Structure formats: structure tokens, C-alpha cells
Amino acid sequence: MAAWRRSPRPSFNTLELVMNTLLKTFAVTFAAAAALTACGGGGNDDDPSPSDRIGVLTITDASVSGLDGVYGNGSLNLTDVEKNNPVGSNPEVCAFKFDGANRVLGEGTAFGDVRYLPNADTVYLMFLNVNGREFSNKQDGTDTQVQRDRDRIQFNRKTFTATDNSGVTLRVSGLVPMRGSRPSGC
């Protein structure tokens, strides 16, 4: 009859080593998750989310082909409007971002960053990305209207110029909604 042998019990030092290793692994995992959440990996106000608000932009008179068209969505993605006065920047602005304006009857998308002065009725500065090309209104508030009572920004054939110094221009008409809860003056 073969002798049956029991494996020796692990020593206290071996158990302590395993427990310390597991504890360190959990601590590192928790710290990484906390860091990602703090810097945006877990979602924050910089990420536009569905708004249940319609946004439509009509782009015309583009000086290069492939950009003209209607871009919109029945639930445009928006961030909250925030009052910002970045260090080294002047003046204080109300700002929000939008995305998800898909091209109707074609491929492409538009998204942007809208900035307007508190208590002002026009857009101060806006960056608009259309099909991968960035445009700006160059701090010219003409042909725009901030309609706080209707929670939206309206554009009336507003000229935007490419930010890559190529001289490419386009005109924008339409509406971009804003979230209803905004800081004072926004």
C-alpha cells in the first residue's frame, strides 16, 4: 500500500507574501481608476452628452468642395455652459461644446466650441470643425444671436475661416441649442 503524503502547510511567511502582493495589486488598480476618473477617463463635463434638443447647421459657399450641406441631429450632444476666465486670457466668457451634428444625405460630421460674453447677445468666438477641418469666426460677433430665452445660438450666414491659414471660408446658418441651466449672465 502506497503511503499517502500530505503536502506541507504553507508557512506564515508565504501567506503573508501572497496577501501583500494581492493588497498591492488592488491598491494600484484602485489608484489607477481614481486617477482616470479625476482626469476625465470616467466622464466629465468636457464630454458632450445627448441633450434631447435639435441642432441644425446649414453650410454654404464653402471655398473648397465637400463641405456644403446640412448637419444636424434631433438630440445634439452638449456640455453644460460654464463661465470661464482662463489664466492669461481676457475676457470672461460663457462657453460650451457640442458634437454629433451629422451630415444629412452624406458623410461627415460637425462639432464645435461656442464662447460668448456674459450678458451679450452675440457670439464672441467659436471654433467649428467640419469633416476634420477647423474653422473660427475670429472674434467677430456679427451674424450671430445668443437667444437665452430660447436656450439657443442662432447663425445667419456667418462667415467662418479655416484656422490652418489656408484662407478657406464657409458660411453657416442655423441653430445650436444650449442647456437650460446656466451660470448667471450666460
pLDDT at residue 25 greater than cutoff 70: no
**Higher-scoring residue by pLDDT: 5, 61:** 61
Q: What is the dihedral of CA 132, 114, 71, 178, to 10 degrees?
A: 140
The 10s digit of each residue's pLDDT in 136-183 is: 997 788 999 999 999 999 999 999 999 999 999 999 999 999 999 999
pLDDT bin (cut points 50, 70, 90) of residue 33 is very low
pTM of the model: 0.73
Encode pLDDT of 96-138 as tens digits: 999 999 999 999 999 999 999 999 999 999 999 999 999 999 7
Other Cβ atoms closer than 10 A to 155: 21
Quote the pLDDT of residue 140: 80
Q: How confident is the model at residue 41 (pLDDT cuts 50, 70, 90)?
A: very low
Q: Is the pLDDT of residue 13 over 80?
A: no
* Greatest CA separation for the chain: 99
Residue showing cell 441631429: 73
The confidence band for 46, taking pLDDT boundaries of 50, 70 and 90, is: confident
CB 22 within 8 A of CB 133: no
- Checking if the pLDDT of 26 tops 90, the result is no
pLDDT for 22: 33
* CA gyration radius, the chain: 26
